[in-house]
Amino acid sequence: MSDEAKEGEEFTLEADSELRFEIEDKDAKVFVTLISGFAEMFGTELVKKKKYEFLTGAKVAIFTYHGCVLNVNGKTDVSYISKETPMVQYLNCHAALEQMRASAEEKDERGPIAMIVGPLDVGKSTLCRIFLNYAVRLGRRPLYADIDVGQGSISIPGTIATILIERPASIEEGFSQTAPLVYHFGHKGPGSNNVLYKATVSKMAEVTLESMNVNKRTKHSGMIINTCGWVKGDGYAHLLHTAQAFEVNAIFVLDQERLYNELLRDMPSFVRVVLLPKSGGVVERSRDLRSEQRDLRIKEYFYGHRTPFYPFSFEVKFQDLKLYKIGAPPLPDSCMPIGMKAEDNKTKVVAVTPSPSLLHHILAISFAESTDEDVIGTNVAGFVCVTDVDMDRQTITVLSPQPRPLPNTVMLLSELQFMDIV
């Protein structure tokens, strides 16, 4: 054990309890070491005697099924041990998913496609992480789809994405983000363009379900889908649509009986709908904090987190940009060309003339080479951020994870902005 670990405070946890803490102070660091016993964080096991580092903004729960002793060194804002956790219920649900996987394996069918739903801040992403970690610890290779465009845990805000989970999430950095499948949506919430959101989710479902047929291990392991916290009105309609598009056969509803009953009523009988309590440890986030977290995710995309990235900055001529946005302003049906509905406008690919209003906006770099292709149904390779627009010289400056030149493909304007002040 290092000297620093000896210096901190020791917490002895009984079986089925967890240590929760938050770090709010700017530039604060907290080190946690498992001294004895077994412990895990959101489904990832801690290695004994290894020192884990947590930074500002961390909201952590270290749980133990068997009891353990932890050493915590550094200034936490709140830290307490809770014996009231829903972890045993979550573990039982994992066991049910695992049974579905075993049976899928026997019959060579698709494993469970499970969707986690619930209002804002109930621990949806955390439950996804727990389920995925438990699955991968048993040798499964599930897919993780995150269709929460506001606070998604895979790519940057304004997108939906899927990754293949091949190893447990790192305690400090979460799941490895290698080769995600990402689709551009371009807004912070599905409500900004419901028609486009639906089309994008349908495409993601089609592509991921098809990919499961190619890899047997993933096919049997199934998929975990994380959703938005918007569960009323159109938000609820999106949940129904997502369930249908992904051919979901299990839904875990966190913390809302009303939503649970609505889903019981509206789902076909082969879909298992399970109501689960939220953990008392889940921390509510204010609107400002959500916005800050969106900025942070974009910042991390360009600059990295613990491992720093060094992005490039270069100019691109207006004439070299194939810049578009999705969705034209609405027109009444009476003004639409014959055979088109006002809805069609919502998924129209519209050329964008470069102007100073592009400043700070994120541009998604599509794999589509021209608008003759299905732009909405084509995934994106990455993102750049516009850091300057020079109307005299007819150029924009972009911040890019890749050096110049940008690929000669379609670029899609996102509503999301990022101020590049490091």
Binding residues: 18, 59, 121-126
Helix (H, G, I), strand (E, B) or coil at 129: helix
123 part of the interface to ligand ADP, by CB under 6 A: yes
Which is nearer to ligand ADP, 290 or 322 (by Cβ)?
Answer: 290
Binding site for ATP: what residues are annotated?
18, 59, 121-126
Exposed (0-12), middle (13-18) or buried (19+): which is 290, by Cβ within 10 Å? middle
Letters for 7-46 (x = contact with ligand ADP by CB under 6 A, - = none) are -------------x--------------------------
Both structure tokens of 320: 């070299």
Query: Judged by CB under 6 A, which of 125, 159, 162, 249 binds ligand ADP?
Result: 125
Give Cα 95 distance to the centre of its chain.
24
**Whose Cβ is closer to ligand ADP: residue 120's or residue 342's?**
120
Q: What 3-state class would DSSP assign to 287?
A: helix
Among the candidate windows 170-178, 281-289, 341-349, 410-418, which touches ligand ADP by CB under 6 A? 281-289
Q: In what order do the strands lie in the sheet with 380-390?
A: 312-317, 395-400, 380-390, 361-366, 411-417, 323-326, 349-351
* Least distance (Å) between residue 208 CB and ligand ADP: 20
Secondary structure of residue 385 in the 3-state scheme: strand
Rounded to whole angstroms, the Cα distance separating 322 from 23 reads 44
Nearer to ligand ADP, 274 or 352 (CB): 274
CB of 261 to ligand ADP, least distance (A): 20
Question: Does residue 64 interact with ligand ADP by CB under 6 A?
Answer: no
Question: Quick one: 308 exposed, middle or buried, by C-beta within 10 A (0-12, 13-18, 19+)?
Answer: exposed
Asked if residues 78 and 63 have their Cβ atoms less than 8 Å apart, the reply is: no
Residue nearest to ligand ADP (CB): 281
Could you tell me if 356 and 389 are in contact, meaning their C-beta atoms sit under 8 angstroms apart? Answer: yes
The answer to whether 121 contacts ligand ADP (rule: CB under 6 A) is yes
Shortest distance in whole angstroms from residue 183 CB to ligand ADP: 20
Least distance (Å) between residue 63 CB and ligand ADP: 8
Rule CB under 6 A: choose which of 61, 154, 164, 204 binds ligand ADP.
61
Which C-beta is closer to ligand ADP: that of 23 or that of 135? 23
Residues 6+ apart with CB under 8 A from 311: 302, 303, 399, 400, 401
Query: Which residues are bridge partners to 17 per DSSP?
Result: 64
* Residue 283 CB contacts under 8 Å (≥ 6 apart), including other chains: 22, 59, 121
Return the closest-CA partner of residue 17 out of 37, 32, 35.
Answer: 37
Least distance in Å: CB of 255 to ligand ADP? 9
Residues between 310 and 349 with contacts to ligand ADP, criterion CB under 6 A: none
120 binds ligand ADP (CB under 6 A): yes
Nearer to ligand ADP, 59 or 217 (CB): 59
Comparing CA positions, the residue from 20, 21, 51, 23 lying closest to residue 35 is 51
Written as six digits, the tokens of 149 are: 């465009």
Q: How many residues bind ligand ADP (CB under 6 A)?
A: 16
- Structure tokens that stand for 277 in this block: 């309590």
* Residue 196 binding ligand ADP, by CB under 6 A: no
Instruction: CB nearer to ligand ADP: give 138 or 289.
Output: 289
Per CB under 6 A, residues contacting ligand ADP are 20, 59, 61, 120-126, 151, 229, 279, 281-283
